[in-house]
Amino acid sequence: MSKKNASVNEGIQANSVTAEVLAVGHGAKAVKTAKIENREAIQQPAAVSSRGVKTNTYAGKNAPNVFISYNHADSVIADKLKAALEKNGIEVRIDRAVMEAGSSIQEFIECSIRETEMTVSIVSNRSLLSAWVALESIEAFYKENTSNSKKFIACYIDDDFFETDFRLNATKQIDAKIADIDNRIPEYIILKIDTNDLNSQKTRLYKLRNNLGDILARLKDSLCLDIRGDKFDDSIGKIVNAIKG
């Protein structure tokens, strides 16, 4: 056996059974090609962005890509939405699948919205009271207003936000959370504990409180898609058309 053939055979063993079968039928040249293609297929899913975010390459290099914004309590519907979009050839970025351990949440949000073509927001009573989801919405609105290539689509699983008293009730709940933080600060001071964690929470809650009106107005002024129950498939079709259109 020549050194060239020995090298090829070693490459086959390091990869897959498929490559070995090709070797028997087509010779060393075909084996070498199979080896290279197999190695590329293995490496594809390992892509990582500059912010430590894993990127999904299964949908293809030219596939449209979207970022799903949601509250973790709504993860079941978020996973269902992700699977439906990927089935239609759309690359999806969602924190539970691609966010690296130890990464900054705010940097992940900014990076995801910047690097994808569209943000699909799952609107629920929980998400509208989430400071992080509010940050995602605000960032997406800003990108949409400053870039013609960015889009924002909202789909809902709760429709309470259409009610006129929703903002009042939501603001009271946000204020209760802020008051709870304020009540903890004196004990922090007594124990000589830095209040930076409480201050960060308060800052996010105030941003949510101050921007809630704009978020609700944007939702009410645009076509929000109902993805509850038997309306899911029809809405997915509209989302896919909007993304690919």
- 61-91, pLDDT tens digit by residue? 678 999 999 999 999 999 999 999 999 999 9
Q: What does residue 13 show for φ and ψ, rounded to 5 degrees?
A: -65, -30
CB 172 within 8 A of CB 95: no
pTM, full prediction: 0.72
pLDDT at 46: 37
CA distance 80 to 194: 41
CA distance 143 to 135: 12
pLDDT at 180 over 50: yes
Tens digit of each residue's pLDDT (9 = 90 or more) over 84-132: 999 999 999 998 655 666 667 788 888 888 899 999 999 999 999 999 8
Report d(CA 127, CA 129) in Å as an integer.
5
Residue 219 has pLDDT above 60, yes or no: yes
Rounded Cα distance, 133 and 68, in Å: 10
The per-residue pLDDT for 175 is 98
- The CATH architecture annotation of domain 65-165+191-244 reads 3-Layer(aba) Sandwich (3.40)
Q: What pLDDT does 231 receive?
A: 97
d(CA 230, CA 245): 24
Nearest to 100 by CA among 146, 144, 48, 152: 48
Whether 34 shows a pLDDT value over 50: the answer reads no
Structure-derived torsion over alpha carbons of residues 138, 92, 55, 115, reported in degrees to the nearest 10:
-40
Helix intervals (H) in 1-149: 3-14, 17-43, 75-87, 95-98, 105-115, 131-146
- Tell me how far apart the alpha carbons of residues 22 and 34 are, in angstroms, rounded to a whole number: 7
Residue 237: which of 202, 245, 165 has the closest Cα? Answer: 245
Give yes or no for residue 142 having a pLDDT over 60: yes
CATH 3.40.50.10140 location in the chain: 65-165+191-244
What pLDDT is stored for residue 15 in this prediction?
A: 41
User: Which residues are bridge partners to 130 per DSSP?
Assistant: none
What rounded mean pLDDT belongs to the chain?
79
Residues linked to residue 66 through DSSP beta bridges, in sequence order:
92, 118
Q: Looking at residue 99, what is its pLDDT?
A: 60
Residue with tokens 């590329």: 40
Q: How confident is the model at residue 31 (pLDDT cuts 50, 70, 90)?
A: very low
